[in-house]
Every structure is written in C-alpha cells, then in structure tokens.
Amino acid sequence: MKNRRILIAAAGIFLVSACLSVWILRRSEKQTVEIVQDGKVLDTFDLRRTADREIRVPAADGGYNLITIANGTVCISEADCPDQTCVKMGTLKSDYLPIVCLPHRLIVRFAEDTP
C-alpha cells in the first residue's frame, strides 16, 4: 500500500514536471527582441524586419558580447566572459528562457510585439 502511494506520487510529479517543461520551452510567437544591460534597454528590434547583422555590446569591465541576428533568429555568438554560458544557450526561443550573460549583466529577451 505504501509503495503504491509512493509510485503514484512519483508518477504525478513526473507528469507535472513534463507538462511544465513543454510549456516553458515552447517556441515563442513573439518577434520583438530587447537587448537589456544593467536594467536599461539598449536596443529593440523586430526579427521579421531586421536584416542579418551583428551587434557588439561593450561591458563595464571592458569585455563584450557579440549578438548575431541571422535568418530571423538571435543569439550571443561570442563573448569574453569566462563561463560562456550565454554563447552555449544558442538561439532565443522561449518567452520564459532569455539569453543571459551574468558577468556582463546582459539579457536578450522577447518583448511585447508592437503593431
């Protein structure tokens, strides 16, 4: 009886976790992207209307992040931070999972689309 309850609880937790993961990681319908550093919006652009380009964002410590816009996607393609987590995150896909560079206090995220 006790093992059955544990098995049912574990299955319930697994199902809830799987559903939340799918919901959080689903592709965003938004096309407007913001680049934010130290809480200040540096740039906002629409992926549908922005030509392929690279944006170099300098950091206060003398470092940098290179943001690449290509084929309607955006990513941090290069950075001089030690852990390279922002580069490893790949392209921006989800409303709930922005690209973040903690050493340079930089965030690349979806914003509300403007008409």
CB neighbour burial string for 9-38, b if at least 16 within 10 angstroms, e if fewer: eeeeeeeeeeeeeeeeeeebebbbbbbbbe
Q: Where are the chain's structural domains?
A: 29-110
Q: What is the pLDDT of residues 5-25, one digit of tens each?
A: 888 888 888 888 888 777 666
Was domain 29-110 assigned CATH 2.60.320.10?
yes
Q: What is the pLDDT of residues 21-58, one digit of tens each?
A: 776 666 777 789 999 999 999 999 998 888 999 999 99
Q: What is the pLDDT of residues 63-76, one digit of tens each?
A: 999 999 999 899 99
